[in-house]
Amino acid sequence: MRYLDEQAIENIAVGAAFLGTGGGGDPYIGKMMALSAIKEHGPVQLLSTDEIDADDFFIPAAMMGAPSVLVEKFPKGDEFVRVFQKLGRYLGKEVKGTFPMEAGGVNSMIPIVVAAQLGLPLIDCDGMGRAFPELQMVTFHLNGISSTPMAITDEKGNIGIMETIDNQWTERLARVATVEMGASSLVSIYPCTGSELQTASVQNIVTLSEKIGKIIRSNEQDDTDKLADLLTVTNGHHLFSGKIVDVERGTTGGFNRGCVTIDGLGEMADEQVQVFFQNENLIAKKNGQPIALTPDLICLVDLETLNPVTTEGLKYGKRVRVLALPCDPQWRTAKGLETVGPRYFGYDLDYVPVEELAQKEAR
C-alpha cells in the first residue's frame, strides 16, 4: 500500500499514455483532471490485488468513444462519479474501491479522480495491460465475467443502466448510445469481486505506468540511455525511426480510424513503415511486411523526448520512433486472439509474437 501524490500522477499519466498504444485519450487532459482532484481531496491510496478482500466489491469508471472528440468536447467533471455511483446504487452493494479498465492518458486518470473524490482506494490492475477500442476486449471477458450491469452517462446528464445477453451486445448497444451522446460517453462496467480482480485482471499496471513515466520524464539521462531503460522495463523492441509523411484519419462509428506513414531516417532512409489504427495502433508494416501485430503493443514516441504520441496527435513532419512490446500472456491464448487478434479487426494476417518478428527482422 502506498499513496499517489502529484509527482506520481505526472509519471502515471505519461506511462499510461505510452501503454495506451496511441489511444486512451490525451494524457494532458487526464493528468489535469487527476491533479485537480488530488489537490482538492488529497493523495489516493494504491492497493495491490493481494491487499484486497476476495469478497469485497469493486467497479471501474472509464471514457468510451473516439479520443479525438475530447479536444473539443471537454468533460464537465461530475460524469465520472455520477456513473460510478449510479452503478453502485443499482447493484445495491458497498463499493470498496475502483480500478482502471485500460491504460491510456484519460482512462488511467478517471479512476484516480473517482478515488480522490469518494475517498476510495485505487487497485493496481486493469483489464487490458494496454488500450483496446471495444468493451469486450478485456481480460475479464476472457475469464467469463459479464460486462453488465453497466451504467452509461454523458456530460449533459443523460444516464442509464444496461443489461445485455453477452459482452459483444454490450459493445454494440453502448456504441450506438455513445455516438448519440456526441461520440464520447462515460461508463462503469465489469463490476468485480476482489477474487475476480486477483485472478482475471492484468496486475500492477499502475506501478508499471509510473516506472515508464519516470524514465520518459527524467532529465538525468541522455536519450540513448533513456531508450535503453525504457526497452528494458517493458521488454520492448525498437523497430523504426522516421518522419511522418502522411496521416489518414477519420471518425466513424464512434472510433478514430486511419493509417500513418513514416519514412525512415539515417540508416533507415530507404525504408517506410505504416501503422494502422482504430483508436489504438493495431498493425505495423515495414515495406509492406508486418513487424508488429495486435495484441502486442505498438507505441509511437517522439524521436528525442520519447513522449508518447497519440493517434489524434499524429501530424505531418513529426519525427517518431516505433516501439513494440509483448502483450499480457492472456491475450496470446486462443480466446484472446479471437477477441483482439489481427483477423478480428479485418486484417488478413495471422498473429506472430513481436519477439519472433523482431528476431526475423534482425537476421
pLDDT 10s digits, 113-140: 999 999 999 999 999 999 999 999 999 9
Confidence of residue 341 (pLDDT cuts 50, 70, 90): very high
| pLDDT tens track for 275-305 | 999 989 999 999 999 999 999 999 999 999 9
Indicate whether 210 belongs to any domain: no
Compute the mean pLDDT over every residue in the chain, rounded to the nearest whole number. Answer: 94
- The region, left, alpha or beta by phi > 0 then psi within -120 to 50, assigned to residue 24 is left
SS3 breakdown of the chain: % helix, strand, coil, rounded to 5? 35, 25, 35
User: What pLDDT score does 23 carry?
Assistant: 87
For residue 311, give the C-alpha cell. Answer: 493517434
Indicate whether 123 belongs to any domain: yes
Cβ–Cβ under 8 Å, residues 64 and 35: no
Across 212-226, average pLDDT: 92
For residue 215, is pLDDT > 80? yes
Q: Are residues 159 and 247 in the same domain?
A: no
- 343 DSSP assignment: T
Indicate whether 146 belongs to any domain: yes
For residue 225, is pLDDT > 90? yes
Total domain count, the chain: 2
User: What pLDDT score does 222 carry?
Assistant: 85
Cβ–Cβ under 8 Å, residues 136 and 128: no
For residue 362, is pLDDT > 80? no
Indicate whether 159 belongs to any domain: yes
CATH number at residue 237: 2.40.390.10
CA 347 to chain centre: 21
For residue 89, is pLDDT > 80? yes
Cβ–Cβ under 8 Å, residues 162 and 83: no
Across 175-198, average pLDDT: 95
| pLDDT tens track for 46-75 | 999 999 999 999 999 999 987 666 666 666
Share of the chain above pLDDT 70, in %: 96
Q: Are residues 190 and 109 in the same domain?
A: yes
Domain hosting 184: range is 2-205
Q: Are residues 292 and 352 in the same domain?
A: yes
Tell me, yes or no, if the pTM score tops 0.85: yes
- 23 DSSP assignment: -
